[in-house]
Amino acid sequence: MSTTPDPAAEHAARHWFSKGLHELGHAEQRLLDRLAQRKLVSEDVNAVFRSDLTFGQRLADNVSRFGGSWTFIIVFAAILVLWTGVNSFVLKKPFDPYPYIFLNLMLSMLAAVQAPVIMMSQNRQAAMDRLDATNDYKVNLKAEIEIMGLHDKLDQLRTDQLASLLARQQEQIDLLMKLVAEGGPRNER
């Protein structure tokens, strides 16, 4: 079943994009549809994106957020100082003597888990940035089309006013020509 394109939409595509409706991308076609309906094209992509996150994705974002904070660095430094201090100076029989092999194992495991979690969070952030950029493109494109439409309306208004002014001037010229042809007003002394 083939659908015939809306003539108004085809005209708008040719006018604003200098392309046929079928040549436009999905975003541009959707924009023209939203413009014709006088609807907003912008959306809160953060809310849309966050509403689709799974528990694991939210957990990864929170771990990434905490892992990249000063709180984490300070707590982590305190734990390292405490660990080395207890194992070096406090305990007579330390459970992890110098060179702290168990501590190195724990740090390696933490890094092995933390790195992919941070990468997952960064990938989601990149996807959200792409959605945000697409939304910005749609909003900017609509604004540009609206501004061009206003320019067209102003140009039409100026043209109409100029035509009206020229018509009035022509009437005045015709009236003056008629008066001159009739001999004009006479000044009697």
**185 domain-assigned:** no
Nearest CA to 59 among 112, 118, 109? Answer: 118
The parent domain of residue 175 ranges over: 40-179
3-state SS assignment for residue 38 = coil
First to last CA, the chain: 89
Q: State the helix-helix crossing angle for 7-17 and 26-36, rounded to 10 degrees.
A: 120
- Say if CB 144 and CB 28 are below 8 A apart: no
pTM: 0.62
Nearest CA to 141 among 7, 15, 17, 12? Answer: 17
**121 domain-assigned:** yes
**34 domain-assigned:** no
> How many structural domains compose the chain?
1
Q: What is the pLDDT along the chain (189 residues), one digit of tens a residue?
A: 445 667 777 888 888 788 888 888 887 888 888 887 877 777 787 887 788 889 998 998 998 899 889 999 999 999 999 999 999 999 999 999 999 999 999 999 999 999 999 999 999 999 999 989 988 988 898 888 889 889 999 999 999 999 999 999 999 999 999 999 987 566 555
**141 domain-assigned:** yes
**84 domain-assigned:** yes
Beta-carbon contacts of 41 under 8 Å, excluding residues fewer than 6 positions away, are 30, 31, 34, 35, 138, 139, 142
